């Protein structure tokens, strides 16, 4: 007689923000095998980038790959094209781009924390964190002029400049967020019911993180020191107070704490950026047409985002390849599920912060 049962989770499920299907093979309540299907929201973005849009317009197309890390996508593409055009941005442009990417990281991490709390059964905390997240959304809306589709970065610079009122707003919102994050850290550390759902659950060991090529907060929670911000020199991260955040236990609690501490670090970096903003033009001319091949890696909120852009000296690109962090992390995710209880699956899944529209694009 068969000893295992198959329980599907998704493609539509109460704990999911986006469609993904898991098929768990369970022995009683324990998960012993996982099968994942991620391609429910495929939109053909890569092909559209090479068939329907000219290279100057593609930056706005790839920003629509993901609603959360729109800035990171358009930044990666822009960097790749600027490499092909042989253009390097001045310091002010770099700082403004960094500011938006770090704000993006803060609000994306907060969404993940809220969602993890919700999936652990703490609905009120979900509301609270989502409410606090509005502080950052307001800043981004004021800087870029739109709440979700920022369209802030374009080839040769950024589209808008910071005014003194905006700088005051950023300072004000960051300091009130900073207090709230401190309170959240205490809550995540000491709350008894959250500890039951988080501590020692969904463990990814350091060896597994190496073997399955984990990345982003998932890897850093397991103690694997990998961060594109420390590995590349496109942006002056070191000078602005970047710190590698590592935890050692590799469970959901550790992943939450990596995110919380990264938010604190990002707030500090945002402050440094606006305090030391260099002067200069925000939009420069980047002339020519992309010829050759460029590879760019940028640290998105969920890990390494990889862009390959190939052009042949014409307006239309030959190839745009996007490898998103969630896609690369799927093997590690599947490994974490094995051996845990089925009832913990939603909380574990939320703690990975999977982005399906990025992955299927």
Structure tokens at 318: 């030959």
CA distance 263 to 281: 29
Please tell me the count of residues contacting another protein according to CB under 8 A.
19
Binding track over 77-116 against another protein, x by CB under 8 A: ----------------------------------------
Tell me how far, at minimum, the Cβ of 139 lies from another protein, in Å: 9
Going from the C-alpha of 152 to that of each of 71, 248, 357, the distances in angstroms are: 7, 37, 21
Please state, in angstroms and rounded to a whole number, the distance separating the CA atoms of residues 115 and 351: 8
Q: Does 57 bind another protein (CB under 8 A)?
A: yes
Closest CA to 227 of 293, 148, 305: 305
Residue 176 binds another protein, judged by CB under 8 A: no
Stretch that binds another protein, among 35-43, 51-59, 236-244, 256-264 (CB under 8 A): 51-59
Report the residue number, 144 or 340, with the smaller CB distance to another protein: 144
User: Taking contact as CB under 8 A, which single stretch among the options 89-97, 133-141, 218-226, 248-256 is the one that binds another protein?
Assistant: 133-141
134-163 residues near another protein, rule: CB under 8 A: 134, 138, 141-142, 144-146, 149, 151, 154, 159-160
> In this complex, which beta carbon is closest to another protein, that of residue 63 or of residue 355?
63
Assess 185 for contact with another protein (CB under 8 A).
no
Nearer to another protein (CB atom), residue 131 or residue 292: 131
Q: What distance in Å separates the CA atoms of residue 333 and residue 81, rounded to the nearest whole number?
A: 32
Are 321 and 346 contacting, i.e. CB atoms less than 8 angstroms apart?
Answer: no
What distances in angstroms separate CA 131 from CA 25, 119, 169, one per listed residue? 37, 17, 17
Instruction: Determine the Cα–Cα distance for residues 174 and 142; give it in Å rounded to an integer.
Output: 14
At closest approach, how far in Å is the CB of 149 from another protein? 7
Q: What mask of x and - would describe binding to another protein in positions 247 to 286, judged by CB under 8 A?
A: ------------------------------------x---
User: Which position has the token pair 């050692």?
Assistant: 248
CA dihedral 253, 302, 283, 133 (to 10 degrees): -40
First-residue to last-residue Cα distance in the chain? 42
Binding residues for another protein (CB under 8 A): 53, 56-57, 60-61, 131, 134, 138, 141-142, 144-146, 149, 151, 154, 159-160, 283
């Amino acid at each position: 007689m068969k000893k295992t049962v198959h329980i599907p989770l998704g493609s539509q499920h109460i704990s999911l923000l986006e469609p993904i299907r898991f098929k768990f093979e369970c022995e009683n309540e324990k998960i012993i095998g996982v099968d994942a299907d991620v391609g429910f929201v495929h939109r053909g973005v890569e092909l559209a980038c090479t068939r329907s849009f000219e290279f100057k317009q593609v930056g706005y197309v790839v920003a629509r790959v993901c609603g959360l890390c729109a800035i990171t996508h358009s930044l990666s593409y822009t960097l790749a094209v600027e490499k092909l055009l042989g253009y390097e941005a001045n310091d002010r442009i770099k700082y403004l781009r960094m500011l938006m990417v770090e704000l993006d990281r803060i609000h994306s991490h907060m969404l993940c924390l809220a969602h993890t709390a919700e999936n652990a059964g703490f609905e009120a905390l979900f509301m609270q964190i989502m409410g606090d997240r509005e502080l950052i959304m307001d800043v981004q809306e004021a800087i870029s002029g739109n709440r979700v589709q920022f369209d802030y970065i374009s080839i040769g610079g950024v589209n808008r400049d910071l005014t003194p009122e905006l700088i005051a707003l950023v300072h004000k919102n960051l300091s009130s967020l900073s207090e709230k994050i401190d309170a959240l850290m205490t809550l995540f550390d000491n709350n008894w019911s959250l500890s039951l759902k988080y501590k020692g659950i969904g463990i990814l060991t350091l060896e597994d993180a190496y073997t399955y090529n984990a990345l982003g907060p998932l890897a850093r929670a397991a103690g694997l020191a990998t961060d594109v911000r420390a590995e590349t020199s496109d942006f002056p991260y070191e000078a602005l107070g970047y710190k590698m955040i590592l935890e050692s236990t590799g469970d959901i609690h550790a992943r939450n704490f990596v995110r919380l501490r990264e938010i604190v670090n990002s707030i500090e970096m945002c402050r440094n950026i606006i305090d030391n903003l260099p002067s200069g033009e925000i939009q420069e001319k980047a002339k020519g047409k992309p010829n050759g091949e460029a590879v760019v890696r940028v640290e998105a909120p969920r890990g390494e985002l990889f862009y390959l852009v190939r052009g042949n000296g014409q307006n239309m690109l030959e190839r745009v390849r996007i490898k998103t962090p969630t896609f690369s992390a799927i093997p590690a995710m599947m490994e974490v599920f094995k051996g845990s209880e089925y009832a913990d699956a939603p909380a574990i899944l939320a703690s990975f912060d999977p982005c399906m529209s990025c992955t299927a694009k």
